[in-house]
Structure 1
Amino acid sequence: MKRVLIITYYWPPAGGPGVQRWVQFVKHFRDFGIEPIVYVPENPHYPLQDASFKKDVPSDITILKHPISEPYALAKLFSKKNTQKMSSGLIANKKQSLLGKLMLFIRGNFFIPDARIRWVKPSVQFLSNYISENNIDTIVTTGPPHSLHLIGLKLKQQTILKWVADFRDPWTTIHYHKSLRLTKASSRKHKELEHQVLNTADTVVVTSSVTKEEFKNITPKPIKVITNGYDASIKIESQLDAKFSIAHIGSLLSERNPIVLWKTLAEIASENVDFKDDLNLVFAGAISEQVLENIISFGLEENCKILGYVSHEKALQLQHNSQVLLLIEMNKPETKCIIPGKLFEYLAAQRPIMTFGPSGSDVSSILKETNHGKYFPYNDGELKETILSFYSDYKNNNLKVVSNGIEKYSRKALTEKMARLLKDI
C-alpha cells in the first residue's frame, strides 16, 4: 500500500458538495493500493453540516486534526447573516448593505487567499514533524479553500515530497472573485500565489476541461482532469412524484436566475389549466430572495415548494422522485468550467435534466455525451417546446431517459483513476 497524506478543510460533519469528493476517494482508495491519511481542522466553521457523510469514512483510517483560528466566528458577532452568506458562497448579491460591503473588503484584502490562511503556518509545523516521523512521500492538497495549497507549497519547499494540488474550483477566475472588492495589490498577490502553486506542484488535478485549458496558460506542469461523480453503491427506489415536478437541488444564488424559465413556465400555465395544476417547482437548498421574488412575480408562488437545506440522503431521494431535474449556473464566462457535483447525482437518478448556463460549458458536453437532457444558454431557443415535450411524456407516463456511458463517472471508477495518478507520480 502506498501511503498518501490528504490535506482537506471539508470533512464530515461538513455538508454540501465540497466534502463529498475526497470522502469518496478515501472510501475506495484501499481497493486500489492507496492507504489514505487525512488531515483536517479540529474546530472548523462549517456553514452546512450533514452527519450522514460520516458513514462513508472507513472507521480504521488515520485522521489527523489540528486547531484552526477562523475569522468567521468573530465576524458573526457583527453580522450573522452576512457571515453565513460569505462562508456559504452566497456573496453575489447586488443589494449589499454597507456592513456587507465592508466585510467583503476585509475578507478579500486582509485574508489572502481566503479566511483559512491562519491555518497554514501551524499546519506546516505540525505536518513537517508527522511526515518525517512516518515516512510519508506523497501529499495531496484540495481547494477551495486555496490556502490549503499554501500548506502543500511550503511542505514541498522544505522536503522532497511529491505533491498533487487538486482544484475542485479555479482560483482567480472563480465567479465570486470579482465580488471580493480586491485592491490592485491584493489581486496581484492572488495571481502570484496561484502561479507559485501551479508551478511548484508535481501534478495539478482539475475537475473540468475548461479549467485545464486555463491552467495550461500558467504552468507547464502535468494537468489531469478527474471530475466529480456519483456513488454507485447507493441504491434508491424511485417513487416518481404524482405532480409534474421540476426540482432544483442546491443553492440558488441571485445570479443563478434564468428569468426566461420562469417566464416560459408562467406562459404555458396561462395557456394550459392542466399544466398550471400539475406544475410543482421544488427547491431544496438556500435560495436567494431575488430569485424567489422573480418566481413570485410571474405568478408561480402557488406552484413552489421551498424545502431549505436537506440531508444528502433526502436530496438523493428527491432527485430520483422528480419528474425533471433542474441545474442552473450563472451566465458568465467564468462559470463555463464549473461542473456541479450534483450533475453526476442527477445522471445517476435517471431523470431528464434541464440546464441553464453559459455557452461552451463543460456541463453541456456531458449532457450531450450521456443523452440526459437539454442545455440552454439563458435564451428561450427550444425551451418552450422542450418543457411541453417533457409535460406530454409525463401525462402519458413515458417521461424517461436512456443513459449513455455514465458508468465512468462512478466514484469507484474515478478513484481508480486518482489512485493510478498517485502511484505514478
Structure 2
Amino acid sequence: MVKRVLMVAFHYPPLQGGSGIQRTLAFSRHLPACGWEPLVLTVTPGAHASLAPGGADQDGCIVHRTRALDASRHLAIKGRYPDLLAMPDRWATWLISAVPAGLRLIRRYRPDLIWSTYPIATAHLVALALHRASGLPWIADQRDPMLDDDYPADLRRRRLHAWIEQRVMARCAAVVCTTPGAVVALRERHLRRARCQVRLIENGYDEDAFYNAKKLPASNTHARQPFRLLHSGVIYPSERDPAPLFTALARLHSGGEIGPATFRLVLRASGHDDHLRAMLSRHPGLSSLVELAPPLPYPAALREMLDADALLLLQAANCNAQIPAKFYEYLRAQRPVLALTDAAGDTASALRHAGLDTIAPLDDAEKIAIALRRFVALCRHGQAPLASAQTVADHARSARTRELAALFDAIHHKELP
C-alpha cells in the first residue's frame, strides 16, 4: 500500500535561494526511497520576488500550486500597506487558495499525514485548517524558533505567532526542530503539552548538488593568488554583525600581517552590501581586502565553496539556538572553517562535535585577530582541522530524510506515546 504525505511548503522551486528550499526539496526527493510518496502544496511563482533560472525542479513529484499575494509587492500603495494584510506574514492571502486546494488533494490522493514547514507561518495555518477538516495526523517542521526574546518585534505579530505555536503544540502528532536549543526552548515554553513529540532533525547537505557542482569549472584558476576566505550567504546586521571582524582585519592590515597580495575576504550574496560598504569605509584600505560579491546560482555557489582556501561562519550569541544551514554545506565542502560565534551556542557545539575547534567570539575584535592569525597559518601548513568522512556522511540530507520517514512511520503505525 502506498503511503502518502501532503507537504505544505511556501519555500519550493522555482524560488531562488534560501535553505528552506533545499530542506523541503531534499525531503520530497528522498522520501520515495523511504516508502513515502510526497504531494507538495506550494505557491505559484508570482508569489516570489526572485526566481531561479530554468523554472521549477520537481523531479516527478506531484506539486500543486495556488496563488499567494505578497503584500509588499502586490497590495502596497506607494510602498505602504496595512499591517493586517501581512499577518502572520506577507503571504497571508495564501490561506484563501491553499485550504480548498489542499482539501481537493486530500480527497483525490488520500494522504496518510500532513506536514508543514516554517518560517512562513501561513503554511502552518493552512496545515491546521486541513488537519481540522480531515482529521489526518499533522507534523510541523518548525525548524527555527517561532518566538524568541525579542522576536517578532511587533507585538501583534508576536501574539499571533504565540497563538499559532500553541495550536501547533496542541494539535500536532509531532513537531520537528533543527537544533537542540530550539527543541529545549519549545519544550520549556509548553511544559503542559509534553505529550506532543518534539524531535530533532537537523539541516544537511545534498550530495547530488555537490556532485553537479564538481562538474563546473574551478572558480580559482590562478596558480598564485591571495588566500581566499569565503562567507557564502546572507549577513544579517544584528545576527551576523561583521564589524568586529572588520576591525580585526584593519589591525592586521595596518600591522603589515595581511595585504591585498596575501589575503582576500569574499562576502558572497550578503544581502546587505550597502550596509557593509558603509562599514568598510570606516577602515581606510580595508576595501582592498574585502570583496562584496553578487549572488551565484546554487551549483556555482557550492563550486566556490569547494575551491575556497577556507570558509567563514558568522553567528551571534542572540542566535545560540540556531545553526546556519550553510554549516552543513561547509562540512561537505571539506574546507577549513573559521567560526566566529558564541562558544556556548548550538553552532559552536556542532562545530566541536565535528572536530572543528577554530572558533572565536563574533563580538571581540582582539580575539578574532588572534584566531584569524592562527587559522591562516594552520591552513597554509595543511594543519587546519577537517571533519571525518563519517561525520560528513551523517549530515547528508538523505540521512535526514530517513529520520523524517522513521517519524512518519511511527505516527502512521501509532507507535508514538
Is TM-score (shorter-chain normalized) higher than 0.5? Answer: yes
**CA contact 2:358–2:375 (8 Å) conserved in 1:** no
CA distance 1:283–1:53, shift in 2 (3 Å): farther
Structure 2: how far apart are the matches of 1:314 and 1:339? 23
Q: Residue by residue, what CA displacement relative to the aligned partner does 1:188-237 show, whole Å, maximum 9, x if unpaired?
A: 33312221122111110111111111111223210111111011232355
Q: Residue by residue, what CA displacement relative to the aligned partner does 1:146-179 show, whole Å, maximum 9, x if unpaired?
A: 111011111222222011100122212286521x
Structure 2: how far apart are the matches of 1:364 and 1:408? 18
Query: Which residue number in structure 1 is paired with residue 395 of structure 2?
Result: 409
Structure 1: how far apart are the matches of 2:104 and 2:248? 60
Query: Which residue number in structure 1 is paired with residue 136 of structure 2?
Result: 161
CA distance 1:42–1:168, shift in 2 (3 Å): same
- Which of 101, 110, 120 pairs up with 2:95? 120
**CA contact 1:329–1:356 (8 Å) conserved in 2:** yes
**CA contact 2:7–2:115 (8 Å) conserved in 1:** yes
User: Which amino acid in 2 is paired with 1:224?
Assistant: R
Matched, 1:383 2:384: no
Counterparts of residues 46-65 of structure 1 (less than 5 Å)? 46-51=48-53, 54-55=56-57, 57-58=58-59, 60-65=60-65
Aligned with 1:412: secondary structure?
helix
Query: Which residue number in structure 1 is paired with residue 299 of structure 2?
Result: 313
Structure 2: how far apart are the matches of 1:29 and 1:363? 27
Matched, 1:303 2:289: yes
CA distance 1:287–1:188, shift in 2 (3 Å): closer
Q: Gapped runs of 5+ residues in structure 1?
A: 80-98
Give the Å deviation of 1:54. 4.6
Query: Which residue number in structure 1 is paired with residue 404 of structure 2?
Result: 418
Give the Å deviation of 1:369. 0.8
Matched, 1:337 2:337: no
Structure 1: how far apart are the matches of 2:276 and 2:292? 12
- Which of 110, 114, 121 pairs up with 1:146? 121
Structure 1, 415-424 or 44-53: larger mean CA deviation: 44-53
Query: Identity of paired residues, percent?
Result: 23
Aligned with 2:155: secondary structure?
coil
User: Which amino acid in 1 is paired with 2:370?
Assistant: E
Matched, 1:349 2:350: no
Query: Which residue number in structure 1 is paired with residue 346 of structure 2?
Result: 362
**CA contact 1:112–1:190 (8 Å) conserved in 2:** no
CA distance 1:328–1:48, shift in 2 (3 Å): farther
Query: Which residue number in structure 2 is paired with residue 182 of structure 1?
Result: 155
Counterparts of residues 11-410 of structure 1 (less than 5 Å)? 11-16=12-17, 17-51=19-53, 54-55=56-57, 57-58=58-59, 60-74=60-74, 78-79=78-79, 106-107=82-83, 110-173=85-148, 177-178=152-153, 181-183=154-156, 186-217=157-188, 218=190, 219-220=193-194, 221-233=196-208, 234-235=210-211, 236-237=213-214, 242-255=225-238, 256-272=240-256, 275-285=259-269, 286-299=271-284, 300-332=286-318, 335-377=319-361, 378-380=363-365, 382-396=367-381, 398=382, 400-404=384-388, 405-410=391-396
User: Which amino acid in 2 is paired with 1:267?
Assistant: R
Aligned length: 391
Structure 1, 241-250 or 415-424: larger mean CA deviation: 241-250
User: Which amino acid in 2 is paired with 1:411?
Assistant: R
Q: Residue by residue, what CA displacement relative to the aligned partner does 1:336-391 show, whole Å, maximum 9, x if unpaired?
A: 12212111001111112122234522111111011235233322464333212232
Structure 1: how far apart are the matches of 2:164 and 2:184? 19
Aligned with 1:63: secondary structure?
strand
Which stretches of structure 1, 4 residues or longer, exceed 6 Å deviation after superposition?
none
Structure 2: how far apart are the matches of 1:346 and 1:172? 28
Q: Gapped runs of 5+ residues in structure 2?
A: 412-417
CA distance 1:128–1:327, shift in 2 (3 Å): same
Give the Å deviation of 1:110. 4.5
CA distance 1:131–1:393, shift in 2 (3 Å): same
**CA contact 2:311–2:337 (8 Å) conserved in 1:** yes
Matched, 1:9 2:7: no
